[in-house]
Amino acid sequence: MSTERHLAAWLKAKAPGELRALLAGAGYVSNGDISPRDLARLLLQYPVALNALNSCTLPEVEALAAVAWLAARRHGDLPSHYWHGHDPGDRAVPRADVVGLLAGSEPGARADAEAVLDGLAGKVLVLPPYGKSVVVPNAVHLHLTDAAGLGRQAGELMSAHFNAPEVHRIAGALGLGKVGTREVAQRNVLAVLTDQARVRELLAEGPAAAQEWLANIVRNGARVRTHVFKTDAYSAKSSFRVSGSADANTEWLAARGLLLPAGAPEVAEVPIEVATAVLGEPRARFHPRPPSPPLELPDISGADGSAQAAALAAVSQIDRLIAACAVQPPSVRKSGGLAVRDTKRLAKTLGLAEEITRFWLDLTVQAGLLGAHAEPVPRPKGHRGKLPEPVVTLLPTSAYDEWRTGRTEERLVRIIVGWASVDAIFTYTADQDGPPVALTEPDHPYAVGVRYAVLEALGALPPGKGSGQDALPYLVARATWHRPHHAADMPDMMGCLTATLREAELLGVVARGALTQLGHALLDLLRAPETSDPSTETLVAALADMLPAPQVTAFFQADLTAVVRGTPEAALADLLDGMAARESEGHAVVWRFSPASVRHALDLGHDATDLLERLAAVAEAPLPQPFEYLIKDVGRVHGRMRVVRSGCCIRSDDETLIDELAGTRALRALGLRKIAPTVLISSVGEAETLAALRAAGHTPVLEAETGATVVERTATRRANLS
């Protein structure tokens, strides 16, 4: 029976939910059921098996590499186009040989090896029929045959990388007689290297330090970096470096053929025959246990408070960022990404670092809260030519309106789930040319795996302990153990890890170098079997426990600030944002009132009495007198001057003020002309006139042709491009 039929029979015993989980793990989503036969065919395909291989831990990769190495020794080299049309069962190997290669005769290690093979069966990387043989997908043989950490045969290495003089030199060092041809000399050398007794005798006669060095190499693989050989750039052949390697032990081993060129520059390899003589039997690398955390780790007192402050700040800053994009939409470049000048402007408006502003921009777009909007270009009357390309900007989406009305924990969970699943480390920019640009295409295909591995490493820290700068090597090692393929493909694993930690801290997932309650809930979600619609209830619950209840009142102080301890309810935040400027946020949010901020509230159609009543309704105590003075004073002068809609005019009952405006140098661009003791005419439109007057420190209001005050409101727009 073919492997595909065996696998289909095994899948028939699985529940529909288990089949859907396997399908989702392969990167496919199906609302209906899939037949076991179709799923078996899919799981054996090369890209699907390779995707599963990329999510393996280090011991799983080592076990699969051992299978591939044994298969190559038992069945020979891979045929061409092996991934197509060949049954994986044709390269089966004995399970006992796999366990022996990984663990030798040590009972504990053998049990670990058996457990790893059983786990790989659950990932469909060890295939049925299960029993005395091990069968793996074709992708494993293609990618891991040389990954077991076992050296190649001495004859293969010598033939591939040495010319005749080097072979004769080794024969002389071994005390073999002079011969006329390379073939005979190499045959004599191999007779020594393939005889385990003679290799052990040779080592016993040599320096003890060289023997220890060789044992250390073969216990950790077969290769070592050394300068003992130099490689010719044209022939790719290696020779002994005349100046030596500055390592007497390596030179002694290389001189006798116990260490041979590996083919890569500055890399040498212990032949498998020599490694077997040293160890007694071939042993592949096998690390069933992850690296342990350092003993000396910092305490994380205050981490809960830091996480709470970060989570509250994240929601607030994202909300304000989206609101700022609605007021003055940033431009999307034709080449992709957001205009750098607009990112700088948004950062200045929000009082944030540009790096954090870019991070929130990327995440909000990832979460579907901001989207591209193309402003149609109107065709002028009589115009028949090609219209210019529409200007594309970034605007809130309709999803933002729903998101903003949700509870704080639900709002942040949407952002966090998007962060956990995106193929990008947004704040890692070390490999970019020029200034970093927001909204560029994700370019870290293994970012999700590395993010998961970093959270796993943090999750293994002892309770109450965090990871400081000294623990970064541990985090890299532990993350590499969880996702060796992903870590190996990251050009700067330390930089990527540091950026990932920074992003996690901004979201409240990590605080003081340790996972928060939210971080543990996210890790549990990532550990769960893959599904098309993962439940986020545990994340919402963790955030609800971590965050204080939304506040509906504020504490007003005599210095014209309002303080909300915790996170303000949306209605309270809207009220205060409309009348004051945010000064700081975290455990508490602080707003500062000023004449300009109160004038803005009056421009929206409120009067001074209304503003005072609305503030009093949300105040924890009676409003301090400075608030009443400020609002009443601004309200008294607000509207003293009127901008008339007629192209436009400025009128005021205060003739002195009209004369003052007519002579103000800052207003010359308006081309003001006095047409009556109480009226000026402007050469520009009402919007520009209002803006110039306000910039000069005045407080005009807009008046309709009927004489009624016009409330200035900005029309709500939403993104129109998906």
pLDDT digits (tens, 9 = 90+) for 415-445: 999 999 999 999 988 766 677 888 887 678 8
pLDDT of residue 61: 96
Which stretches of 123-260 are DSSP H helices?
138-144, 154-161, 164-173, 182-193, 196-205, 208-219, 248-255
Q: Is the pLDDT of residue 84 over 60?
A: no
Give the start-to-end residue ranges of the domains of the chain.
Answer: 3-144, 154-279, 303-378+388-546, 555-630, 640-698
List 396's β-bridge partners, or say none.
370
Kindly give, in sequence order, each residue whose CB lies less than 8 Å from that of residue 147, ignoring residues fewer than 6 positions away. 61, 65, 68
Q: Is the pLDDT of residue 646 over 60?
A: no
pTM of the model: 0.78
Q: What is the 3-state secondary structure (H, E, C) of 550-577?
A: CECCEEEECCCEEEEECCECHHHHHHHH
Q: Is the pLDDT of residue 217 over 70?
A: yes
Q: What is the pLDDT of residues 521-574, one digit of tens each?
A: 999 998 876 544 557 888 999 999 988 888 999 999 999 999 998 888 888 988
pLDDT of residue 81: 60
- The three-state secondary structure class of 519 is helix
Q: What is the pLDDT of residues 381-421, one digit of tens each?
A: 767 777 777 888 999 999 999 998 888 899 999 999 999 99
pLDDT of residue 532: 45
pLDDT of residue 180: 86
Tokens of 375: 């402003």
DSSP track, 305-372: HHHHHHHHHHHHHHHHHHHHHHHSPPBBPTTSSB-HHHHHHHHHHHT--HHHHHHHHHHHHHTTSEEE
Work out the pLDDT band at 714, boundaries 50, 70, 90.
low
Q: CB-hemisphere CA count at 13 Å for 697? A: 5
Work out the pLDDT band at 26, boundaries 50, 70, 90.
confident
- The three-state secondary structure class of 652 is strand
pLDDT of residue 120: 95
pLDDT of residue 547: 87
Q: What is the pLDDT of residues 436-483, one digit of tens each?
A: 888 887 678 888 888 999 999 999 999 999 998 889 999 999 999 999
When the pLDDT of each residue in the chain is averaged and rounded to a whole number, the result is: 89
Cα 591 to Cα 571: distance, rounded to the nearest angstrom:
15
Mean pLDDT over 336-364 rounds to 93
Tokens of 487: 């870590």
pLDDT of residue 345: 95
Q: What is the pLDDT of residues 677-703, one digit of tens each?
A: 999 999 888 889 999 999 998 999 998
Q: Is the pLDDT of residue 635 over 80?
A: yes
pLDDT of residue 488: 74
Work out the pLDDT band at 245, boundaries 50, 70, 90.
confident
Q: What is the pLDDT of residues 292-325, one digit of tens each?
A: 999 888 888 888 889 998 998 999 899 999 999 9
